[in-house]
Amino acid sequence: MTTLLRRLVGPRLSSSRCLGVILRETHGRTVHLIPRDGARLLAGGDRPLTACSRAHSRRQHTEAAKPVEVDVKRLDGEDDGVVEVLMCQHKARNALGHVFVSQMRELVSTLSSDSAVRVVVFRSLVPGVFCAGADLKERALMNNTESDLFVHGLRSLMTQIASLPMPTIAAMDGVALGGGLELALACDLRTAAYSAQMGLIETTRGLLPGAGGSQRLPRMVGITLAKELIFTGRRVGGQTALEMGLVNRAVEQNQTGDAAYREALSLAREILPQGPIAVRMAKEAMNRGVEVDIGSAMAIERMCYCSGHPNTGQTGGYGCLHREETPTVHLGNKLVMISR
């Protein structure tokens, strides 16, 4: 068991000072904290963003003989607290292959436990591409069992991204198709260039979205429109995506091809000044609340309000619980309760 508050805000807050939320679930991963030294994570130094870190690349080749397909950078100065996830698989256009997925999973796992991270921006260093979706060359070499296991792993990765405690933003400056759009849908917010193309195109290949797209898209744009987009495999540009509610902001592409990224950074800067614990708890309240009925959602809001309230554990501050109250909420097969 682990307390929700510890997962959300790290060890800075004592559980004796605030009400925690206990989730009955098993966490089997090893957590590595990210050093807060003002430098890039894994990438190191002030190297340009036009390519992945050479130092990290050498380390990766030495340790695992694998190329770097996903890198990460911590911003500093006025942007301290913003971390960029850099997708840099140029040859396969950021296709979701084994190496890409493995590196992304490890990176997201590391970010999830770092309370110094305030906003995460997912962006691509491949011109004209956010993520091209599944690696079809790899998929063609798999048998049915291997394919099922790999798709299950993709679905798990998207859930891992969606479960990050801090706000996440996908910056789509290019193509985001199939699994690429599913990755963006797993983020909290999305920005796009007008020239970007996005769509869940799996039905055009005799498949259906298998990494969460069939569930997240209806929750985002409505069931009727989602059915139309998935049934037809239709692709839409940034402006249309904005009108649908698929993205939060859409902008004209610039000469450097990173307009959506710049808009995402602008959005991140609007989040940075806000209370970090409050933002994380607000995300948890909304994400959990949409899964249940309104009464249970109100109880979740109350729990999150207490956990994020500066006077938690003291009298005063509406929303905090009396000692004799121990409400519980069922979220699927999980029992959520307030610990004393």
For 228-239, what is each residue's pLDDT tens digit? 999 999 999 999
Task: Calculate the CA 95 to chain-centre distance.
Answer: 17
pTM of the model: 0.74
Q: Which residue has the higher pLDDT, 198 or 38?
A: 198
Residue 182 among the catalytic residues: yes
- Report whether 46 contacts 25 (CB < 8 A): no
Burial category of 31 from C-beta neighbours within 10 Å (exposed 0-12, middle 13-18, buried 19 and up): exposed
Paired tokens of 25: 């679930």
In the structure, what pLDDT confidence band is assigned to residue 135 with cuts at 50, 70 and 90? confident
Amino acid 321: pLDDT: 35
CA distance 298 to 285: 9
- Which of 43, 95, 132, 134 is an active site residue? 134
Catalytic residue among 133, 179, 180, 199: 179
For residue 176, indicate whether it is catalytic: no
Q: Is residue 237 within a helix (H) or strand (E), and if so which, with residue range?
A: strand 236-237
Range in 55-69, 169-183, 215-229 with the lowest mean pLDDT: 55-69
Give the per-residue pLDDT at 55: 44
Catalytic option among 202, 263, 284, 301? 202
Check whether 266 has a pLDDT greater than 60: yes
- Which value, in Å, is the radius of gyration of the alpha carbons in the chain? 20
The pLDDT, as a whole number, for residue 307 is: 77
What mean pLDDT comes out for the span 73-100? 94
Residue 67 has φ and ψ, to the nearest 5°, of: -70, 155
Check whether 297 has a pLDDT greater than 50: yes
* Token digits of residue 182: 């599913």
**Nearest residue to 83 (alpha-carbon basis) of 64, 101, 67, 70:** 70
Instruction: Locate 140 and state its tokens.
Output: 């063609």
CA separation, residue 267 to residues 139, 171, 176 (Å): 36, 11, 20
Rounded alpha-carbon distances, angstroms, from residue 199 to 183, 228, 244: 12, 11, 12
**Average pLDDT taken over every residue of the chain:** 79
Active-site annotation holder among 69, 84, 138, 182? 182
pLDDT score of 66: 76
Contact 248, 260 (CB under 8 A): no
* Model confidence band, residue 150 (pLDDT cutoffs 50, 70, 90): confident
Contact 221, 167 (CB under 8 A): no
Structure tokens at 209: 């979205």
- DSSP string covering 276-295, please? HHHHHHHHHHHHHHTTS-HH
Question: Does residue 283 have a pLDDT over 60?
Answer: yes
Cβ atoms 114, 151 nearer than 8 A: no
**Helix, strand, coil share of the chain (percent; to 5):** 40, 15, 40
Helix (H, G, I), strand (E, B) or coil at 337: strand
List the beta bridge partners of residue 169.
121, 189
Quote the pLDDT of residue 134: 77
> Which of 26-40, 133-147, 322-336 reaches the highest mean pLDDT?
133-147
Q: Give the CA diameter of the chain.
A: 62
Q: Is position 134 annotated as part of the catalytic site? A: yes
